[in-house]
Chains A and B, each alone.
Chain A
Amino acid sequence: MPVTFVYIVASPRPRVGKTLVGRLLSEFLLLKDRRVTSFDINLKEPSLLDFLPDVTETADIIDTFGKMALMDRVILNDGMAKVIDLGFHAFDEFFKMSQEIGFLKEAARRNVVPIVLFMADIDRVSIREHEMLRRQIPAAQFITVDNEFVVRGELPAAMAGGCIMRIPALPDFLKTYVDRLTFSFTDYLRQETDSSTELHQWIRRNYVHFRELELNLEKQKS
């Protein structure tokens, strides 16, 4: 039976690179599968919808209607990978709701695989929430993302175990370059003839990480 992956990019803190990872992942899945559905649950931060309007929908979980509109779709095993860019303001409510409605259990029943990509940060709130989620979510489906632009050094010890994905920091000028609304990672890979550029290497490395993650999960599922 086919498996549908649901990637939840989350952090209880703002400005840690959630949307950046959401973009990378959405474009990777679009390149690999030619289709993806992304959900943008952000109020105020620069959002996924602005970067990928063709594949992104807004969602909110403020009320029951919003929760139904999001989760009743996310739980479907339709073969289409989904990416949720979970804004920091919705972090608590999303995971509280997920636990209450039995999202993980129902997902397992339907061959839907939720994967949480937790954007690491060094503050106490992040460490506490990281610990809480690690207790709830199977180890293979919980990835700590070490965005070196944010963490700037060693990960806190409490976050050091389990699956870790490292995203090297880009120099400021490249960061500004990729932050443009018109920038596409995949288009850059296709159009840039010099594959040795730092940005080319950076994008490829992240795409390879995502591919390895998916292969590991598929291997475990089979």
Chain B
Amino acid sequence: MKLSFPLFLPCSRPKQRWGQPDAAERPRAVFEGTDMAKPAVIVVGADKGGVGKTTVSRTLLDYFNANTVPTRAFDTESPRGTLKRFHPDVTEIVDMTATADQMKIFDTLNTATPSVTVIDVRAGLMSPALASLRDIGFLDAAKAGQITFAVFHILGPSIASLDEIAETASFMTGAKYFLVKNFINNTSFFEWDQATYNSYFHRIKDATELTIPKLNEMAFEQVEVASVPFLKFVANKGIHDEAANYSFVLRGYVRHWLANVWSEYDRIKLTDIVSFGAGKSAIRSGEK
């Protein structure tokens, strides 16, 4: 599915200005950060469905919430988004093929809060989405340091999925590229075959590997049924913070799993990446 982006992105922020176009280039908007943290965009994508993309997006939203980082999210699984079901207050469902929705995401990047935007890209649309970001000058802005841009590429257990790494990496200059191995489905990502593994995972110089460990299946399903963020499930709370009655065992499994996932985010200094250096010293709310 081909995405279309407008040639011009109207802006409403006083500091945003139009760059002077080169003859051979289309006009592009230039994004500038404010005196506060520069805007950060995290794209979570995968080449195919069912690899845990939205699960990872949910852990990111919980992580930023616990680190008191104001965050918003866009769920591109229009019209019914899974991410919105779990994080309704911060998530909007958008259609990435529609210009109006594209403007909704990128024209508002420079608002003061929230300055972190998580975009859960529909499966199979990551490469086209990145190509479009390149076309509107977004990737150049990231390269120029005006925006923090990171891609969480959720890998699947197939050679086709691993082939996508090289294709995605071509967009990643100036951006943070994370290869996410999600073990939630008992995959092995060819770790048993070192030659294959190295040819994909060690070929991209600046890519960082992240591991999402396996979560107990029943615990995962119970969270699904509860339709609450992982953090609220651990805290035994409903969607409106009312007391719930979830299983202590399943809450324990989710707590343990989430702590391991967050350890990975701590390891890559995610709060620093999104320019909340103070997040390191911020007290995490909720349980870790």
- Is B192 at the interface (CB under 8 A from chain A)? no
What residue of chain A has the Cβ atom nearest to residue B252's Cβ? Answer: A101
Interface stretch, picked from B34-42, B193-201, B242-250, is B242-250
A-B CB contact pairs (8 Å), 25 listed: A64-B217, A64-B218, A64-B249, A65-B218, A67-B249, A68-B218, A68-B249, A68-B250, A71-B249, A72-B247, A72-B249, A97-B249, A100-B252, A100-B253, A100-B256, A101-B248, A101-B249, A101-B251, A101-B252, A101-B253, A101-B256, A102-B255, A102-B256, A106-B248, A106-B252
Residue among B216, B219, B247, B249 with the most chain A CB within 10 A? Answer: B249
- Of chain B, the residue at the smallest CB distance from A106 is B248
A21 on interface, CB distance cutoff 8 Å: no
Residues of B within 8 A of A101 (CB): 248-249, 251-253, 255-256
Is the C-beta of A29 less than 8 angstroms from some C-beta in chain B? no
- Provide the residues of chain B in CB contact with A71, threshold 8 Å: 248-249
Tell me how many residues of B have a C-beta within 8 Å of chain A. Answer: 13
| Interfacial chain A residues near B216, Cβ < 8 Å | 64
CA distance A75 to B217 in the complex (A): 22
Q: Is A91 an interface residue (CB 8 A)?
A: no
- Residues in B neighbouring A100, C-beta threshold 8 A: 252-253, 256
Interface residues of B in 207-261 (CB under 8 A from A): 216-219, 247-253, 255-256
Give the CA-CA distance A68 to B248 in the complex, in Å.
8
Contact indicator per residue, chain A 102-115, by CB within 8 Å of chain B (1) or not (0)? 11001000000000
Q: How far is the CB of B235 from chain A (nearest CB, A)?
A: 12
Complex partner residue of A75 from B218, B248, B255, CB under 8 angstroms? B248
A61: nearest residue on chain B (CB-CB)? Answer: B249
B interface: dominant SS:
helix
CB distance from B185 to the nearest CB of A (A): 17
Question: Which A residues lie within 8 Å of B218 (CB)?
Answer: 64-65, 68
Nearest-neighbor residue (CB-CB) of A97 within chain B: B249
Task: Report the nearest B residue to A107, measured CB to CB.
Answer: B248
Q: Which of A93-141 contact B (CB under 8 A)?
A: 97, 100-103, 106
- With a cutoff of 8 Å between Cβ atoms, the chain A residues found around residue B251 in the complex are 101
The residue in chain B whose Cβ has the minimal distance to the Cβ of A67 is: B249
Distance (whole angstroms) from the CB of B223 to the closest CB of chain A? 14
List residues of chain B with CB within 8 A of the CB of A97.
249
Told that A64-B249, A68-B247, A106-B248 touch, could you supply 9 new A-B pairs with CB distance under 8 A? Answer: A64-B216, A64-B218, A64-B219, A71-B248, A71-B249, A72-B247, A101-B251, A102-B256, A106-B252
Task: Give A40-72 interface residues, CB cut-off 8 Å to B.
Answer: 64-65, 67-68, 71-72
The CA-CA distance from A67 to B247 in the complex, in Å, is: 10
Which residues in A have their C-beta under 8 angstroms from that of B253?
A: 100-101
- Chain A nearest CB, measured from B215 CB (Å): 11
Given the complex, which residues of A lie within 8 Å of B255, measured CB to CB? 101-102
B250 and A103 form a contact (CB under 8 A): no
Q: Which of A118-168 contact B (CB under 8 A)?
A: none
Of all chain B residues, the one with the shortest Cβ separation from A63 is B218
